[in-house]
Each structure stands twice: as structure tokens, then as C-alpha cells.
Amino acid sequence: MRALRSPMRPSASLTTRHTMALPQSAAATDTFSDSVLIALARQGSEVAVRGIVRRYNRKLYRTARAILRDDSEAEDVVQETYVRALSALDSYLGDAQLGTWLTRIAANEALGRLRRRRPTVDLNSLGDESAGVGAQSLMVATSDTMNPETQQSRERARLLLEECVAALPDAFRAMFVLRQIEENSTEETAALLGIKPETVKTRLHRARLLLRQALGGRFGVAFADLFPFDGARCERIADAVVARLRHPGGLSA
């Protein structure tokens, strides 16, 4: 990956205003507000950087994976998003929430990769008539022996639901993840994907129909459980981001 031109640097004004003790672990930042984490990250706190990564990994991974449909490339997008954003914190003015700002960067990076892979792709011009093809691809066979009362069967149901969401046509999949799973507003989803709010509403309705057809309403799995990104994977991304941001006079433990 290319070297960054503007590594993160401490901010003298923020250093003056924030005199709190630095947290000792990323988990210790869970109760910190985004503004506090940003202030500490601007001062070069590695723990604050890890706290930001810990907080937004799943959101960014879901967004990138919904667009690219590739786990490895989605992880690359997540890492690139953090490095770009955290290297340019001075340009973050707070006019959008941190999560929205990061998601916008991740979506643009993923869409750029998708366009390079398929030069004709345009999420705004993909016809809604593609729902017919999507409906056929979403006809997933299910087993009558699955028992949603057991953890094992719920895990199978979750994986099946993930497969069905991943199988949605391009015009619906990224929109569905951003609007339904990540719970962005209609306007936020439209802005992130560069489409009209009315288009988001129409495609969300059709995406729900496709999923109902595939799943038959048989599984008690919450959308919030889909595409987990925690544990070792989360730590691996944090380690990679910190390694790329570390430089003399930069991040501190």
C-alpha cells in the first residue's frame, strides 16, 4: 500500500484543552465520546486510535463487504479507510458524525474499487428490474430440522441470512446494509451511495421482499447479528492501522 503524505500529528490547541489521563486499553475507551477519542488521537494516542477502530470496525466492514462481496478486499478497504481518515484528522470539522464520515470514506473507497473491477458499474443507474434475477438467486433451500431454540441452529440461520443478503443484486445489497443493518437514515443512505432518497425507499422495499421470499420468515435471527467483525479480526485491523500510522513523534502508547 502507498505511503501516506500527511501522517497524523499532535494538535497543540487540543493538547492544551484535554488534560485527562490517557486510557490504558482500547476497551477503556468504550465510554468515551467520539469527540474525546478524536482529541486524544490528534495528540498521538495509540489507545485512542484502537478505540476508534474498535468502535467502527463492524460498520465499515459491513459497508465495504456489501459493495464488494469479498471478505479480504473489504478488510483492505476498512484498513485504508482508517489510515486515510486518521492521517487527516485536522480536516475533520465535525459537521458530520464520526461514524458517518468514516462510512462515507469506506463507501467511496469500495465503490472506486468496484468501478475499477467493473468499469461500467453505477449504483444509481442499475435498474430496479434486476429484482427478478435477484429473486431467482435468492431461492435458498432450508431444512425443516433446524431448531431456532438452539444456539447451533440459530448460528446456521444467521449464516443463511448473511448468504441471502450477500446474494442481493448490486443495486439493493449496499443500500440494504447501510439502511437496514447499519440503521442509517434514508437521507444518509442516499448521500452515501449517491442516489435519491426515493430510490432508497423503493429498493429497500424490494430488497425486503426478496429476503422474505428466500427465508420464508422462518428464522429468529436479528439483522444486528449479521457479518460480525470482532475478536481477532478486529485486533488484526487495529494492529495494521497502528503500524501504518506509527512514525517518529506520532502515535504514543
Question: Do 161 and 38 belong to one domain?
Answer: no
Termini Cα distance of the chain:
24
pTM of the model: 0.61
CATH number at residue 190: 1.10.10.10
Find all residues with CB under 8 Å of 158, minimum gap 6, and list them: 219, 221, 225, 226
Shortest CA distance to 43 belongs to which of 80, 78, 5, 90?
A: 90
Question: Do 234 and 169 belong to one domain?
Answer: no
Question: Do 237 and 213 belong to one domain?
Answer: no
Q: Is 186 helix (H, G, I), strand (E, B) or coil?
A: helix
- C-alpha grid cell, residue 179: 439502511
Question: Do 215 and 95 belong to one domain?
Answer: no
Q: Is 15 inside a domain boundary?
A: no
Q: Is 215 inside a domain boundary?
A: yes
Shortest CA distance to 91 belongs to which of 11, 36, 33?
A: 11
Q: Where are the alpha helices (DSSP H) in the chain?
A: 12-17, 34-42, 46-68, 71-86, 98-117, 131-137, 151-166, 170-176, 186-193, 197-215, 231-245
Shortest CA distance to 38 belongs to which of 59, 13, 62, 74?
A: 13
Question: Do 80 and 154 belong to one domain?
Answer: no
Q: Is 1 inside a domain boundary?
A: no
- Domains of the chain: total: 2
- C-alpha grid cell, residue 11: 494538535
Q: Is 110 inside a domain boundary?
A: yes
Query: Domain containing 189: what range?
Result: 128-225
Question: Do 158 and 39 belong to one domain?
Answer: no
Per-residue pLDDT of the chain in tens (253 residues, 90 and over written 9)? 333 333 444 433 333 334 456 667 777 888 899 999 999 999 999 999 999 999 999 999 999 998 898 889 999 999 999 999 999 998 898 888 999 999 999 999 999 998 887 654 444 444 443 343 333 333 333 444 433 345 666 677 778 888 888 889 988 999 999 998 888 999 999 999 999 999 999 999 999 888 888 776 545 455 666 677 777 888 889 999 999 988 655 666 6
Question: Do 176 and 147 belong to one domain?
Answer: yes
Question: Do 111 and 199 belong to one domain?
Answer: no
- CA 139, 217, 202: angle at the middle one, nearest 5? 75
